[in-house]
């Protein structure tokens, strides 16, 4: 497990080694942080990728999280922002 930043309790950057590690991280930390930024290595720089975009999104959805935006970190990596779903009450 590689935690890249833990500046405050509202957000964290995490670079998982595989989808299973990401799933465990989401289970343990999804209530602790407002947003979780998952760092992804681009396909052309990792074969195989530790975690793909689709794997990250699938793991997040299973944990009740949604993706909202991506951010380029450098030539080889980018991050995806995940947050908790908002509870919308239907009338």
* β-strand partners of 84: 65
Average pLDDT over residues 55-66: 93
Residue carrying structure tokens 């951010």: 71
Q: If you average pLDDT over every residue of the chain, what do you get? A: 87
pLDDT computed for residue 70 by the predictor: 94
CA distance 49 to 42: 7
Phi-psi region of 64 (alpha: psi -120 to 50; beta: other; left: phi over 0): left
Residue 39 has phi, psi (to 5 degrees) of: -90, 130
Domain range list for the chain = 2-84
pLDDT computed for residue 56 by the predictor: 95
pLDDT computed for residue 33 by the predictor: 87
CATH number of 2-84: 3.40.50.150
């Amino acid at each position: 497990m590689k935690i890249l930043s833990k500046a405050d309790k509202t957000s964290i950057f995490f670079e998982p080694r595989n989808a299973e590690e990401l799933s465990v991280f989401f289970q343990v930390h999804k209530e602790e942080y407002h947003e979780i930024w998952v760092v992804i290595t681009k396909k052309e720089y990792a074969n195989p990728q530790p975690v793909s975009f689709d794997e990250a999104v699938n793991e997040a959805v299973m944990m009740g999280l949604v993706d909202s935006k991506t951010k380029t970190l450098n030539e080889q990596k980018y991050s995806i922002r995940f947050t908790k779903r908002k509870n919308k009450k239907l009338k």
